Structure 1
Amino acid sequence: MRERITFTIIPTYKCNMYNYCSYCYAKEMSDKYGEISVENFRNIINWLNEEYKKVEIVLIGGESTMHSKFDELLSIMNENIKSAKLYTNNMYGEDILNLILRSPVLKKFNIHYEEKYFFNEELKKRYMHNIDTLYNDGRMINLRFNINSSDFEYENVLNLAQKYKALILYSISAPGGGNNDYVPIEFVESFAPRLLSFVKDANEMGIKLKSARPLPFCSFSESELEYLIDKGGMKGCCSPYKAINPDMSVLGCSSLIDFGMIKVQNKNEFIKSLDDFEYLINEAKWEHMSIGNCEECNYFHKKICQGGCLTYKGPLFNNPLEGGVISSCSMNFYDRH
């Protein structure tokens, strides 16, 4: 029996806040994937419990709380696992909030922060009520902060993080599975001045930071890079979240929607897909270049920096699990197995 796994389930891609987040990669996926059945949700957790001693479930979306049977999904988790995390826009109503408060396993929350929410008094009131209630109930809160402009505003998110003793998980918008608004990788270096100010001010307020996605090290000078790694929790490599879509298609990472999906029907297929993707994702990091100078970069060759989020390498991939290839490494892998 294996030791532990943190596994991501996408119950639905539906969301009630699509119009506020131009960088969202999920908005075009809702009609395509629908929502996961209660039976399949239960199967996934049972398969994981049979294979691993310790299981943590991460729910993302879309907005998971919009699943039509979210109460039943919560009940299954409450009965079968000890720890779960919810990625949420925090814009659910009182009925969902009460369900969450009654859950003994839903202890951690990555709450999406979007500046536009606070331009609307009704949305702001709901957001603050929900986050206040969770915090006062002793739930652990992180703020998920997506950066989409080189002059991004951050004063309000820092104040919230300080108030709720929250870690800020930040990232620069990367490509998704659709036509989301993202920052081209060659423009990342233009974010350096504002990013450095953000990190400096956060540190002065005693706020912890961590980059949710890797950033290309070549976008920063040596001194900037040292500071951002030390004080801003910046990373050059990722540990992708293994995930499953509502239609039971497994993903190597929750952000790589078009990367090598395969639908599973039983436990053996499911567990094998997790092992296959672990190999493929790790190989893909170093098989392709995100930007022209990766090939000449010591950070890349030492496997310290993979050249930014893997989604930037997405156009180079076909689908190995449906008959295509990602790269020579994946061809060799499937030849051997």
Structure 2
Amino acid sequence: MMSPKLLLTNKCNRACEFCFQTSMAIRDAEISIPDFNSLLLWLKFQNINTLTLLGGEPTIHRNFSHLLKLANDMNFHINMLSNLLFKKDIFSFFKNIQNICANITLFDTYTITEQNRILENLATLENLKIDVLLSCTIYKTDQSIEHILGIAKKYSNIREIRLDLARPSIDKKNKYISIKKIESHKTQLLSYIREVESIGLNVLFDCPFPKCFFTSEEINSYDLPSKGLSHNECGNLLINPDLSIASCPFYNLTEKKITDFSSFSEAKEFIVDNKEIERLKYSVCSLPLCKTCQSRIDKSCTGYCIAEKAIYNQN
């Protein structure tokens, strides 16, 4: 079972221009201590002992250390997505953190102090033997990943790099790469794959790509299935700070809370069975050729991004 994903807070200490979460309904929402404790107890009842913390930036939650202590006391294993700008005083609570996905953007967008903090935190995470997955979002044609490769070479606990193209927010206020423009980024993406593999690391895709985006030769030559080409899917269950359940990119999907369900699988089915998500996945076409594509007809391809389908509602 995949680890449940909790948006600990919608707040962030960065303002990345490609961030697709800019359209979140309640920008300053963060989970309360009682709700977090209720969630942990509910997950324990389901015999689920792993939780992934998302944001915003989860570490800027006003009670982050206390929340980690609650999770530690109940022997939860924690995964986390972070921009690595947290202060050293929280490291003592990292007891049961097993993996951190570190979102690193272009280094010239950070101050020198921020750059140093990221590198210092990576060094501490290496000492703590906490695995780090570096994440790089491509949103410019001239974007370099040299800084990502340079960081990856320094630390033994970095074994994989997650690559993705910037996806749209529902309000289209972020910088993103439209499906109509991804063909011009394909060579760039494939080149980055080779660069990452040249230093002995693996590549993962975060969100789905249409299978037709790549040729059969490219799929085989770059071993794209192992990177998540045909396995990633839009519509996974998320838990909002108020415990309501959602699905990217629809953070206000329903008022039903995760604790309203008798099991995690029941909550997942509720998301899977959502008629609007189902319609966008398999009825709305990302490209004209999707209309007759067997992969879409047999539901083995969700297309590019549900957010883009929702925005343009192509038929």
TM-score normalised by L of structure 2:
0.87
Number of the residue aligned with 2:176: 182
- Match runs of 1:81-160 below 5 Å: 81-100=75-94, 103=95, 105-116=96-107, 120-160=111-151
Pairwise CA distance, 1:283:
6.8
- Match runs of 1:1-337 below 5 Å: 4-18=1-15, 21-29=16-24, 31-51=26-46, 53-100=47-94, 103=95, 105-116=96-107, 120-164=111-155, 165-178=158-171, 179-230=173-224, 233-239=227-233, 240-252=235-247, 255-258=248-251, 260-264=253-257, 266-268=259-261, 271=264, 272-280=266-274, 284-315=280-311
Which residues of structure 2 form unaligned runs of 5+?
none
Cα distance between partner residues in 2 of 1:5 and 1:234: 15
Pairwise CA distance, 1:95:
1.6
Identity of aligned residues (%): 23
Which residues of structure 1 form unaligned runs of 5+?
318-337
Cα distance between partner residues in 2 of 1:219 and 1:265: 36
- Root-mean-square deviation (CA), in Å? 2.5
Cα distance between partner residues in 2 of 1:27 and 1:259: 13
Pairwise CA distance, 1:81:
3.8
Pairwise CA distance, 1:308:
1.3
Cα distance between partner residues in 2 of 1:259 and 1:161: 36
Pairwise CA distance, 1:151:
2.8
Pairwise CA distance, 1:86:
0.9
Which of the two has greater helix per residue? Answer: 1
Q: Deviations over 1:246-268 (max 9, x none)?
A: 1222113xx32346322428443
Paired AA for residue 49 in structure 1: K
Q: What is the SS of the residue equivalent to 2:142?
A: coil
Structure with bigger RCO (C-alpha 8 Å, 6+ apart): 2
Cα distance between partner residues in 2 of 1:229 and 1:130: 32
Contact 1:10–1:60 (CA<8 Å) still a contact in 2? yes
